[in-house]
């Protein structure tokens, strides 16, 4: 019976890790779709003045966005169900002797689920904001072109308005590049955080099994904290001396 319970727990963990890996890949693709949406529309506005091609491309990207959103939401719902089953198993009377380790593993999977949910909603909100902004800029550009074709005269006011619109679009492009860099950095940090969490989980498991290792880790942490305080004090003193020298 104990072996069957152990196999059931390991099967749940395997399913949870598989869903987490799928979510990680889906979220990376979802983030790339968000960052490429605006740049692709800029390219089409600059290289193709027809109305049909941009509409078709935009419609395709919108369908991809909706499909990927549904897939990610379904994966998150499945991961929630697996975590609930793991929580139900950990509260079974027959596995109370391993309850601490099981709860630690369950909490780690819940934290990963929470991080993925937060990242999904944030990326989705950024995508919708970029799409709304691009639609607004496209509408303004269309109104300008309609006005130009209707009047047939490029007066001074229209030229100034076009220049201002171009400045706004350049600023918007710079902001989107900054957002892309920030999102790429976030993806890298998320990956590193998951790796560090895995290492920390293994270290905690070893520390719980071997009290001597736990004591050694505590001494190392105390020494690191002391070294950090000393280093901070030295940096503070050096900064004060530099400021005194600069303003002398």
| pLDDT per residue as tens digits for the range 111-142 | 998 998 999 898 888 888 877 887 777 666 67
Six-digit token string for 96: 């109370």
**Per CATH, the architecture of 2-40+57-146 is what?**
Up-down Bundle (1.20)
Using the structure block, give the residue that is written with the tokens 């799409």: 131
Q: Report d(CA 23, CA 26) in Å as an integer.
A: 5
Using the structure block, give the residue that is written with the tokens 């099981």: 102
Rg (CA), the chain: 27
- Interaxial angle between packed helices 2-47 and 156-209, expressed in degrees from 0 to 180 and rounded to the nearest 10: 160
Q: Report d(CA 113, CA 217) in Å as an integer.
A: 29
Give this prediction's pTM: 0.49
Q: Report d(CA 177, CA 25) in Å as an integer.
A: 22
Most confident listed range (48-52, 71-75, 226-230)? 71-75
Q: What is the pLDDT of residues 151-196, one digit of tens each?
A: 555 566 777 777 887 888 887 788 787 777 877 777 878 888 777 7
Q: Does pLDDT of 54 surpass 50?
A: no
């Amino acid at each position: 019976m104990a072996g069957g319970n152990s196999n059931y727990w390991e099967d749940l963990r395997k399913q949870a890790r598989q869903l987490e890996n799928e979510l990680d890949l889906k979220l990376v693709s979802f983030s790339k779709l968000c960052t490429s949406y605006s740049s692709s529309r800029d390219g089409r506005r600059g290289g193709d003045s027809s109305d049909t091609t941009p509409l078709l491309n935009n419609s395709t990207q919108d369908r991809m966005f909706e499909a990927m959103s549904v897939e990610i939401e379904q994966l998150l719902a499945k991961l929630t169900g697996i975590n609930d089953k793991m929580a139900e198993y950990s509260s079974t009377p027959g596995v109370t002797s391993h309850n601490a380790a099981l709860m630690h593993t369950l909490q780690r999977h819940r934290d990963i689920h929470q991080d993925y949910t937060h990242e999904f909603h944030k990326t989705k909100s950024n995508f919708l904001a970029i799409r709304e902004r691009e639609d607004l800029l496209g509408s303004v550009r269309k109104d300008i072109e309609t006005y130009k074709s209707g009047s047939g005269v490029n007066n001074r006011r229209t030229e100034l308005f076009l220049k201002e619109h171009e400045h706004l679009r350049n600023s918007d492009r710079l902001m989107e590049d900054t957002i892309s860099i920030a999102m790429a950095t976030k993806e890298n940090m998320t990956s590193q955080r998951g790796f560090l969490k895995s290492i920390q989980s293994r270290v905690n498991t070893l520390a719980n099994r071997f009290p001597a290792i736990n004591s050694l880790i505590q001494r190392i942490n105390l020494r690191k904290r002391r070294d950090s305080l000393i280093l901070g004090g030295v940096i503070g003193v050096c900064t004060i001396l530099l400021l005194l020298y600069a303003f002398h």
